Amino acid sequence: MTECEKCGLIVGLGCACDLPRSVPRRPYMGGYRWVRFGPDTLLISSRNIAHVPGACTHMTEEQVLDPENGWGWIPDPHPALWDRVSAEHPAQATEGDTSRVAKARCESCAATLAS
């Protein structure tokens, strides 16, 4: 067993100094600041528009959490759900305001996710 000179851990048993750094899944992830919602959560506005936390700047976590604003969300959606959201394939909120049904995707979020 060899001890890493950088971190002092055993190489192959905890040391990750020489492993390649993973690239964030989404371009905005380096500055992700939302606390209550994970980056894959599907947020659904009172206008039934799907959003992704941090992917657009026209809403904040505080606004989403305020019950008076009527947001719903799906905390752990199927990975392909974002791509399927449409009038033909609506997504029903499972938490928050569960009456919310996403029938369209936020254009700003979509542009960020596509970059």
Q: How far lies 50's CA from each of 67, 78, 80, in Å?
A: 17, 14, 13
Residue with tokens 């936020």: 106
Rounded mean pLDDT of 26-38? 67
pTM: 0.72
Residue 19's pLDDT is 53
Domain ranges (residues) in the chain: 1-26, 32-114
Residue with tokens 């941090």: 54
Residue 23's pLDDT is 41
Q: 81 CB contacts (<8 Å, ≥6 apart)?
A: 42, 74, 91
pLDDT band at 24 (very low <50, low <70, confident <90, very high): very low
